Amino acid sequence: MQEELSRNIKKILPLSGNALELFISKFKPLSLKKSEHFIRQNQIHSKIGFILKGAMICYYLKDGGEFVEDFSFESEFVSDYFSILNNIPAQKNIRCIEDTDLAVIDYKDILELYGKNSIAERVGRIIAEGLFMRWQQKHKSFLLEDAMMRYQKLSDKNPELIQRVPQYLLASYLHVQPETLSRIRRKIALG
String marking each residue 136-175 x if it binds DNA according to CB under 7 A: ----------xxx-----------------xxx------x
Q: Where are the alpha helices (DSSP H) in the chain?
A: 2-12, 17-25, 81-86, 107-116, 118-144, 147-157, 159-164, 167-174, 178-190
> Nearer to DNA by C-beta: 44 or 143?
143
Which residues are near a second copy by CB under 8 A?
A: 60, 62, 67, 69, 81-82, 85-86, 91, 114, 118, 121-122, 124-125, 128-129, 131-133, 135-140, 142-144, 175
> Nearer to a second copy by C-beta: 45 or 122?
122
The strand pair at 65-72 and 56-62 is best described as: antiparallel
> Nearer to a second copy by C-beta: 12 or 34?
12
Min separation Cβ 91 and DNA, Å: 23
Contacts (CB under 7 A) with DNA, residues 30-49 = 34
Find out whether 106 and 79 touch, Cβ atoms under 8 Å: no
Find out whether 49 and 102 touch, Cβ atoms under 8 Å: yes
Q: From the list a second copy, DNA, none, pick the one residue 25 interacts with, judged by a Cβ distance below 5 to 8 Å according to partner type.
A: none
Which residues make Cβ contacts (< 8 Å) with residue 160, sequence separation at least 6? none
Backbone dihedral angles phi then psi of residue 26, each to the nearest 5 degrees: -85, -15
Among 21, 178, 188, 191, binds DNA (CB under 7 A): 178
> Nearer to a second copy by C-beta: 22 or 60?
60
DSSP reduced 3-state for 33: coil
